[in-house]
Amino acid sequence: MDRVHYKTVVISDVHMGTPFSKIGEVTRFLGRLSCERLVLAGDIIDGWQLKQVDDKWTVQESAFFSVIMKMLEKDQTEVVYVTGNHDDFLDNITPCQLFFISFVNEYLIEDFGKRYVVIHGHAFDSITTQFRWIAKLGGLAYNGLLRFNNLWNKAREKNGKEKYSFSKAIKHGVKRTVNLISGFESDLAEFARFRKCDGIICGHIHHPEDKILKYGIRYLNCGDWVESLSALAEDDSGEWKLLRYSDLVTE
């Protein structure tokens, strides 16, 4: 099957090591494309979960990195790993380059006269930065919701009803409330303006987004690979768009 080519692809929040990571889907998704630059925008590996359980690394996780290594070798793809809060154990080594992958805390994309700064986004989330224990408690609660959501949707399918993710709706509602309180998007715009950028790209909140903030700053969020199964892609003319798993992979 011919692969779709993009100049840049950005994914985040795969949360490898958690039971609800769609690691198989993201691996198939990456296998359907080629790109000059792949940016992993944080929380790819869930260090919080891996610290608790020893047997979370499986063949699927190995397959994910195998696809990335093939992109490095066959396509000469530049691979950049921007650290997040769940993989903050990598902060101890950033910035550095290992196995031809660059590990950084932020990354600047300059194409076609436009500048975009890529960060994970947790630094502008007041709950994550100031109340880490609440963030971890929220992660446990979210996993509980996902478990219940799976059981609930199985019952809905038996009754001929469509799946519905109330866990995603609740998480997004909570994140929106936190964002309003903490000024998350406003702070992103200020940061992008300070870095003299036209836009800012991040993950963290598990909700894909493409909108204009104050100062005309374009805010792009690549979503996650737990529920939204989405990414960001830049084409050869410098245009950015949101990509869904179903855009490239047909089951």
* pLDDT string in tens for the chain (251-residue length): 689 999 999 999 999 988 889 999 999 999 999 999 999 999 999 887 766 655 566 788 899 999 999 999 999 999 999 999 989 899 999 999 988 999 999 999 999 999 999 999 998 875 544 444 344 444 545 555 555 566 655 655 666 656 655 445 544 544 555 454 447 889 999 999 999 999 999 999 889 999 999 999 999 999 999 989 999 999 999 999 999 999 999 86
Determine the Cα–Cα distance for residues 29 and 149; give it in Å rounded to an integer.
24
Alpha helix locations (H) across 58-97? Answer: 59-74
Q: How many Cα atoms within 13 Å fall on the side-chain side of residue 121?
A: 29
Give domain limits for the chain: 4-248
* Positions of E strands within 17-163: 33-40, 78-82, 96-98, 101-104, 107-111, 114-118
Residues 6+ apart with CB under 8 A from 227: 165, 167, 168, 206
Q: The whole model's pTM is what?
A: 0.79
3-state helix, strand, coil in the chain (%, to 5): 40, 25, 35
Helix (H) or strand (E) holding 155: helix 132-158
Determine the Cα–Cα distance for residues 232 and 238; give it in Å rounded to an integer.
12
Structurally, at CATH architecture level, domain 4-248 sits in 4-Layer Sandwich (3.60)
